[in-house]
Amino acid sequence: MIHFYEEDYAKLRETYRKWWRGELHRPIVPLITTGYDIEGELGSYSPFEFGTAWDFSLSPKDFIKFWDLHFSTLRWHGDAFPFFPTTCFGPGTMAAFLGCRPISAQHTVWFEPPEKDIPIEELHFEADDNNPYLRRVLDVYEAAMEKWHGQVVVGMIDIGGVMDVLQSFRGAENLLTDLYDDPDEVLRCVKELQGLWRYYYEKIIGMMGSDAPGYSQWLNLYCENPSYILQSDFSYMIGPDMFDRFVAPELAETASWLDRVVYHMDGIGQIPHLDSLLKIDGIKGIQWVPGSGAPEEQNWDDLLTRILDAGLKLLSCNQNPDGTPIAIAKDPGQLYFWERYYHKDDPGAQAYAEICNISL
The answer to the question of residue 19 being in a domain is: no
pTM to 2 decimals?
0.94
Q: Are residues 65 and 196 in the same domain?
A: yes
DSSP for 49-67, written as a single string: STTTTT-TTS-HHHHHHHH
* Mean per-residue pLDDT pooled into runs of 10, the chain (360 residues): 94 96 91 89 83 95 94 96 96 97 92 94 97 98 94 96 97 97 98 98 94 89 94 97 98 95 95 97 93 76 92 77 68 89 94 84
Q: How far apart are the first and last CA of the chain?
A: 19
Decide if 355 contacts 332 (C-beta within 8 A): no
The answer to the question of residue 108 being in a domain is: yes
Q: Are residues 90 and 46 in the same domain?
A: yes
Decide if 205 contacts 136 (C-beta within 8 A): no
Q: Are residues 169 and 249 in the same domain?
A: no
For residue 120, the tally of other CB atoms under 10 A from its CB is: 20
Question: What residues does 3 pair with on adjacent strands?
Answer: none
The answer to the question of residue 346 being in a domain is: no
Q: Are residues 185 and 68 in the same domain?
A: yes
Residues 162, 197: Cα–Cα separation, whole Å: 8
Q: Are residues 243 and 177 in the same domain?
A: no
Residues 63, 2: Cα–Cα separation, whole Å: 16
Q: Are residues 175 and 56 in the same domain?
A: yes
Q: Are residues 132 and 247 in the same domain?
A: no
Q: Are residues 41 and 181 in the same domain?
A: yes
Give the pLDDT score at 312.
96
Nearest alpha carbon to residue 258 among 302, 299, 205: 205
Give the pLDDT score at 325.
58
Nearest alpha carbon to residue 193 among 209, 170, 215, 219: 170
Decide if 231 contacts 161 (C-beta within 8 A): yes
Domain that holds residue 326: 228-338
The answer to the question of residue 18 being in a domain is: no
Q: Are residues 46 and 186 in the same domain?
A: yes
293 CB-side CA count, 13 A: 2
Nearest alpha carbon to residue 193 among 136, 254, 239: 254
The answer to the question of residue 261 being in a domain is: yes
The answer to the question of residue 14 being in a domain is: no
Domain count, the chain: 2
The answer to the question of residue 62 being in a domain is: yes
Type of residue numbered 276: S
Instruction: Give the CATH number of the domain where residue 52 resides.
Output: 3.20.20.210
DSSP for 306-327, written as a single string: HHHHTT-EEESS-B-TTSPBPT
The answer to the question of residue 24 being in a domain is: no
Residues 319, 25: Cα–Cα separation, whole Å: 15
Q: Are residues 180 and 263 in the same domain?
A: no
